[in-house]
Amino acid sequence: MLFYGAGLWGKLALENYNKYYKDSNEFNGYIDSKKKNSFNGIKVYSFEEFLENYKENEEVVITAHAWFAKEIYLKLRENGIGNIYWYNSISLNKNSSFIEGFCVPCNNWDENNISLDRDRIKDIYILKRKFPHIIEFRLLGGEPLLSDLLVDYINEVRKYYPETRLELFTNGLLISNLSYEKLKCIKDNNVIVSVTAYAPTKKIMKKIKDTLQEYGIHYIINLEEENIKFNKPLSASNSTKLLKKCINEGCVNVYNGKISKCPLVMYIHKLNERFNVNFPTDGIYSLNDNTSAQELCEKLNKKIPLCTYCVDNPIEWEKCSIQSLLDDWGSVE
């Protein structure tokens, strides 16, 4: 057995393997063409090296970020690899093998798999008809813990997508005050809580961890940067001198029966109306017409007019002013 992806998810997968199954001697290393020789002391094979030494009974577990999972799966399949699995990160059965305990088979995946971010209950059924298998859902905000419908969102997503990795992204400030119903729902539905450690969050980090651990909820604390920065994603001109950058790659958004390449284009009309500007709105597609899932995937993988306005413009974290300004969202140069 090899893990495809020597990064965060590969590290977490190995931790679970070592905790429960190390004596089985199944794990033979990582596959990752971007890493050289080893990762955390474990052998890393390039994809070419893996193919040269591949044995028919070997199992490959995809442990890369969900954004890249589809690409990796198709690459493996196109090269004749048959035993492909997706690391689910939540234990399904610790008494079985690692594959049975922490992974789901990819044999029901196809080219129409897509990693989607969405938070609207009414769209889940429509989405299921078009995309029967989704790798990862992310419940985002604003702040998703403020929603009175959070329990309904989680239950509905899990009902239609029982094997999908479900993550909830939060600043963590409300976690220690959540109701029993919400905490139990998060636990029962195997939701991973991803906490971004902003300055106010760090002050109550112990309370956050204590609450999550008390309910047995899986969580990730994002502490990559000591000083977390935001990005003003837009430039008023598509000929700006600022470096062009997409901060929403893979963040496909669904709302009101429609699907878009990213949340920015889905809601850019609100910015246009509020500040009397004219950012392009092309790139939103219906989920209710006869367009196939494959055709939608092809459209979503293409650049859209708004892409030429997206830039790298980092700013330090701070409280925003009461009066909203166009400059809060981007450069008005």
Do 209 and 121 share a structural domain?
Answer: yes
Q: The tokens 């970020």 sit on which residue? A: 65
State yes or no: pLDDT of 94 exceeds 70.
Answer: no
> What average pLDDT does this structure show over 122-139?
84
The CATH number of the domain holding residue 85 is 3.40.50.20
CA atoms within 13 A on the CB side of 214: 12
State yes or no: pLDDT of 233 exceeds 80.
Answer: yes
**What is the Cα–Cα distance from 130 to 112, expressed in whole angstroms?**
9
- pTM equals 0.64
Residue 260's closest CA among 125, 110, 118, 160?
Answer: 118
Do 247 and 220 share a structural domain?
Answer: no
| pLDDT given for residue 7 in this prediction | 86
What crossing angle do the helices spanning 150-160 and 180-188 adopt, rounded to 10°?
20
Do 23 and 100 share a structural domain?
Answer: yes
Last residue of one domain, picked from the residues 224, 246, 272: 224
Using DSSP's 3-state secondary structure scheme, residue 1 falls into coil
* Digit-coded pLDDT (tens) for 164-176: 999 999 999 999 9
Last residue of one domain, picked from the residues 35, 70, 105: 105
Q: Specify the range with the lowest mean pLDDT, choosing from 17-26, 92-101, 127-136.
A: 92-101
Check residues 212 and 228 and name the one with the higher pLDDT.
212
State yes or no: pLDDT of 112 exceeds 60.
Answer: no
Using DSSP's 3-state secondary structure scheme, residue 326 falls into helix
| pLDDT given for residue 69 in this prediction | 79
Q: The tokens 């493996």 sit on which residue? A: 76
Do 237 and 193 share a structural domain?
Answer: no
Residue 192's closest CA among 87, 109, 110?
Answer: 87
Do 119 and 212 share a structural domain?
Answer: yes
- Banded pLDDT at 242 (limits 50, 70, 90): confident
> What average pLDDT does this structure show over 129-144?
86
Would you tell me how many other CB atoms lie within 10 Å of the CB of residue 319? 7
> What average pLDDT does this structure show over 278-284?
93
Do 133 and 91 share a structural domain?
Answer: no
Q: Which two tokens stand for residue 96?
A: 């079985």
Q: What is the mean pLDDT of the chain?
A: 84
Contacts of 179 (CB under 8 A, 6+ apart): none
Do 253 and 209 share a structural domain?
Answer: no
Q: In this structure, which amino acid lies at residue 261?
A: K
Q: Specify the range with the lowest mean pLDDT, choosing from 118-127, 252-261, 268-277, 299-308.
A: 118-127
Left, alpha or beta for 25 (phi > 0: left; psi -120 to 50: alpha)? left
313's enclosing H/E stretch is none
Contact between 113 and 134 under an 8 Å Cβ cutoff? The reply is: yes
| pLDDT given for residue 67 in this prediction | 64
Q: In this structure, which amino acid lies at residue 57?
A: N
**What is the Cα–Cα distance from 196 to 310, expressed in whole angstroms?**
23
Check residues 255 and 331 and name the one with the higher pLDDT.
255
Do 25 and 63 share a structural domain?
Answer: yes
Which domain range does residue 294 map to?
231-331
- Could you give the C-alpha distances from 294 to 111, 113, 210, 228, 282, in angstroms and in order? 7, 9, 44, 37, 19
Contact between 234 and 311 under an 8 Å Cβ cutoff? The reply is: yes
| pLDDT given for residue 176 in this prediction | 93
Query: Residue 172 phi/psi, 5° resolution?
Result: 85, -5
State yes or no: pLDDT of 210 exceeds 90.
Answer: yes
Is the omega angle on the peptide bond into residue 172 within 30 degrees of 0, that is, cis? no
Using DSSP's 3-state secondary structure scheme, residue 163 falls into coil
**What is the Cα–Cα distance from 290 to 197, expressed in whole angstroms?**
43
Do 305 and 238 share a structural domain?
Answer: yes
| pLDDT given for residue 124 in this prediction | 83
Do 135 and 82 share a structural domain?
Answer: no
Contact between 242 and 331 under an 8 Å Cβ cutoff? The reply is: yes
Do 158 and 59 share a structural domain?
Answer: no
Number of domains the chain is built from:
3
Do 128 and 71 share a structural domain?
Answer: no
Q: The tokens 């971007």 sit on which residue? A: 34
User: What percent of the chain is predicted at pLDDT more than 90?
Assistant: 32
> What average pLDDT does this structure show over 13-28?
84
The CATH number of the domain holding residue 217 is 3.20.20.70
> What average pLDDT does this structure show over 110-123?
53
Last residue of one domain, picked from the residues 78, 105, 132: 105
- Banded pLDDT at 114 (limits 50, 70, 90): very low
